[in-house]
Structure 1
């Protein structure tokens, strides 16, 4: 026997109302969860360091790659052949002009000098005798005791003997020079290389014994472009001072200051470059011939102009263009492409893209997104990395 359950007609509205209430509660709960998740997902403004774009009067510079060269370089050769008996220098040491470097066995040249001296004395004696005979012949000619022809012959003989004396004396002088050449001296002051030929070896004038390069002053040579030539070439040819600085591979910036000494008289049409050379004082021997050098070429003293300057740390690279993040009045990052110029005193010239007084991000570019809010701590545009970290540390400590 089946039992039939029936729902009262009056109960149906109540069930429907309960279902609708449950659905509404579920929807409200979902909205609350979404709001909570949205609040949790909202990122905090990233802490970054910013600085104000500055404007200064500058003398624009250009940078090139160059090499250091000695002002003087000499290959030391023997001027006479012989056996080397002594080497008087330490390889790589500093030597002065006239300092003894090598000695060659002088005995063969001393013997030759003795022979030449004897030949000169003999020629002198014969010339003196011929002069006495000419004086006697002149008196006899006055008394008409000899013929004019005999007198002329004696006069001619004396002239020949005088020439022989001069030739013998020249041979003696050459022999004495060869003795002096057995002492090989440095013709310049500078740093000497190693001895290419050592004691006991036979040398001739074709052999290179060593080399000496001067060290102070020193040249830095580089190739400038056409724009550089037009900018400083005229001043250099007139003798006007054009500032040049160099930095070595292990140095920061350009700590060595010099002056432009030479600008070539023409441009190479194949490369569009012109040879240039600057002179530097090298009292501390830091600059060594042959080293790579970063060359910064300035301009004449009257070439100052206003320039917008920023730190290189503020510049980002987006494929083939440069950009910075400008901080708006609402503390949001604005992506701004820039056109850059050369570096001057550690700051980069900006041709276009930013204006003096604008605030830009200088540290923390990787934490910034265009249009996103930022938490900027201000520093000086030319502040170094340590100063920026100190400011950031103080700011972080104040938030604790």
Structure 2
């Protein structure tokens, strides 16, 4: 009976004893073999570069023609010719319209005849006055008769002047029958066709608009204006020395360019040409104007364009790829790889964007390495295996950078 009880107790504790022995044996084995560690994730890093960058501003602007006139008839008559293609370019002095000249030519001939008659009458009056002067001295005529001759000579002289004025008016009116372009530009739709009666009271015959150069008008916020004037105290006081040389261009230190409505960059630079004398009290802005060459007529009046102003005073600032920049509730940040290949999260203050790159105002310096590929595989404080890459600053395309032997050795040591 006692033997049976002992056998049952041994059967109960035997499996537990065997399990404990196995754990001890496994622990002994784990001490003999090294633990397997995962290698650090590979990432692509970009070497931060510095580039000269100026202050940059963008404004919504509106293109305007420098010259725009309504072509009108100055004399009344029937249109007999139209010498242009609607919507086409016309040259300065080109004949646009011609009004029937026959009535005006007849008026001119009548004025010429009247002048000749008046001149003949003046000659006769002067001769009579000379004879009367001798006769009055001799007492052959009275003083009253002499006064009449004097008056007749004066009236004849006045008639000549009136005839000359009428002749000049007739010549002007005849000249007004030919309507020419006052400047080179594009001409719009013709309001009247050949055969219509037109005159000073008629609508404009057409509208002529100059195309080259062209204005771009824009507004600057008063706060930005005051800040700029504080940095450049003489920006509005220097006298302009020529039409082509803008005082704002000299001391404003800005290079002007345009972005067209389709997003393309216009290939002609502009110059400041005008600044208003008062700030708009309702909008708090100052109106400025720039002039751009427009030889191809690409910029039509009335377009909304983006005017880009970049300061010619440059500062060296870091330039980093857009692909490296991340954002959270605190703002923008990048992941920096330290010399010992540790990842560090770094907040940055961004400036303007230049193609595929961001300008960094603060937070980075030249020579630091930032991650541009593999961001999702890493975390701050972790180790990585960096590979140096190049980034096309225009397109953002990433390519592996060819390492020198020294760089390769340094990367291997970092691993």
TM-score by length of 1: 0.78
Tell me which residue corresponds to 2:213: 217
Q: 1:160 aligns with which of 155, 172, 180?
A: 155
After superposition, the Cα gap between the structure-2 partners of 1:375 and 1:78, relative to the gap in structure 1 and judged at 3 Å, is farther
What is the alpha-carbon distance in structure 1 between the residues aligned to residue 264 and residue 324 of structure 2?
Answer: 19
Deviates more, 1:53-62 or 1:77-86: 53-62
Tell me which residue corresponds to 1:259: 271
| 8 Å Cα contact 1:343-1:349 kept in structure 2 | yes
Q: Given the alignment of the two structures, is residue 327 of structure 1 paired with residue 323 of structure 2, yes or no? A: no
Q: 2:284 aligns with which of 272, 276, 301?
A: 272
Deviates more, 1:161-170 or 1:17-26: 17-26
What is the alpha-carbon distance in structure 2 between the residues aligned to residue 363 and residue 177 of structure 1?
Answer: 78
How far 1:288 sits from its partner (Å)? 2.7
What is the alpha-carbon distance in structure 2 between the residues aligned to residue 163 and residue 24 of structure 1?
Answer: 145
How far 1:44 sits from its partner (Å)? 8.3
How far 1:154 sits from its partner (Å)? 1.3
| 8 Å Cα contact 2:356-2:396 kept in structure 1 | no
DSSP 3-state at the match of 2:111: helix
DSSP 3-state at the match of 2:93: coil
Tell me which residue corresponds to 1:14: 11
| 8 Å Cα contact 1:63-1:342 kept in structure 2 | no
What is the alpha-carbon distance in structure 2 between the residues aligned to residue 114 and residue 53 of structure 1?
Answer: 86
Tell me which residue corresponds to 1:32: none
Tell me which residue corresponds to 2:394: 384
What is the alpha-carbon distance in structure 2 between the residues aligned to residue 191 and residue 328 of structure 1?
Answer: 63
Q: Given the alignment of the two structures, is residue 247 of structure 1 paired with residue 247 of structure 2, yes or no? A: no
| 8 Å Cα contact 2:355-2:393 kept in structure 1 | no
Tell me which residue corresponds to 1:116: 111
Q: Given the alignment of the two structures, is residue 129 of structure 1 paired with residue 124 of structure 2, yes or no? A: yes
How far 1:134 sits from its partner (Å)? 1.2
Tell me which residue corresponds to 1:286: 298
The superposition leaves residues 70-97 of structure 1 with CA deviations (integer Å, 9 ceiling, x where unpaired) of 2222221122222222221112222111
The superposition leaves residues 279-305 of structure 1 with CA deviations (integer Å, 9 ceiling, x where unpaired) of 222233333322222212233x5x333
Q: Given the alignment of the two structures, is residue 169 of structure 1 paired with residue 164 of structure 2, yes or no? A: yes
Deviates more, 1:65-74 or 1:328-337: 328-337
How far 1:100 sits from its partner (Å)? 0.9
What is the alpha-carbon distance in structure 2 between the residues aligned to residue 176 and residue 334 of structure 1?
Answer: 88
What is the alpha-carbon distance in structure 2 between the residues aligned to residue 311 and residue 321 of structure 1?
Answer: 17
TM-score by length of 2: 0.76
DSSP 3-state at the match of 2:129: helix
Q: Given the alignment of the two structures, is residue 182 of structure 1 paired with residue 192 of structure 2, yes or no? A: no
DSSP 3-state at the match of 1:266: coil
What is the alpha-carbon distance in structure 1 between the residues aligned to residue 268 and residue 21 of structure 2?
Answer: 79
Tell me which residue corresponds to 2:368: 358
Tell me which residue corresponds to 1:146: 141
What is the alpha-carbon distance in structure 2 between the residues aligned to residue 223 and residue 350 of structure 1?
Answer: 27
Tell me which residue corresponds to 2:319: 309
What 5-or-longer segments of structure 1 have no aligned partner?
Answer: 1-5, 30-38, 393-400
DSSP 3-state at the match of 1:102: strand
What is the alpha-carbon distance in structure 2 between the residues aligned to residue 264 and residue 58 of structure 1?
Answer: 29
Tell me which residue corresponds to 1:35: none
Q: 1:82 aligns with which of 63, 74, 77?
A: 77
| 8 Å Cα contact 1:236-1:261 kept in structure 2 | no
Q: How does 1:12-51 map onto structure 2 within 5 Å?
A: 12-14=9-11, 16-18=13-15, 45=41, 48=44, 50-51=45-46
How far 1:264 sits from its partner (Å)? 2.0
How far 1:376 sits from its partner (Å)? 5.4
